[in-house]
């Protein structure tokens, strides 16, 4: 496979690593503790001055983006903490849990 083709296929990794809205800490989505994932996303969203929406919207959007882009490549073991992090994130921002 040519490098240009490989680069073209991995555009979502570039968005996650070089988002114009949030400066994420390295490996935030690889953490196993949902609380730490949520806290890191919250901190990144609140510190960002480039986001277009509220800090909650930006943090949740990035979490959903990562989960959707990873899709079937995420194991249940990896998906679990990400799903739980959504409720933790809602709680940190004072939103009702679902």
pLDDT average, residue stretch 33-42? 95
pLDDT average, residue stretch 39-59? 91
pLDDT number for residue 37: 95
pLDDT number for residue 98: 74
**With contact defined as beta carbons under 8 Å apart, do 90 and 41 qualify?**
no
pLDDT number for residue 73: 85
Coil, helix or strand at residue 91: helix
User: What are the tokens at 46?
Assistant: 């609140």
| Biggest distance spanned by C-alpha atoms of the chain | 47
Sign for the CA dihedral angle at 11, 67, 79, 86 comes to positive
**With contact defined as beta carbons under 8 Å apart, do 19 and 59 qualify?**
no
């Amino acid at each position: 496979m040519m490098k240009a083709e490989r680069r073209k296929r991995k555009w979502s990794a570039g968005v996650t690593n070089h988002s114009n809205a949030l400066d994420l800490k390295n490996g935030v989505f690889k953490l196993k503790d949902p609380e730490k994932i949520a806290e890191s996303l919250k901190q990144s969203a609140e510190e960002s001055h480039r986001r277009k929406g509220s800090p909650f919207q930006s943090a949740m959007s990035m979490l959903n983006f990562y989960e959707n882009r990873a899709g079937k490549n995420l194991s249940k073991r990896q998906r679990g903490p990400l799903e739980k992090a959504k409720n933790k994130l809602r709680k940190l921002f004072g939103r009702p849990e679902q």
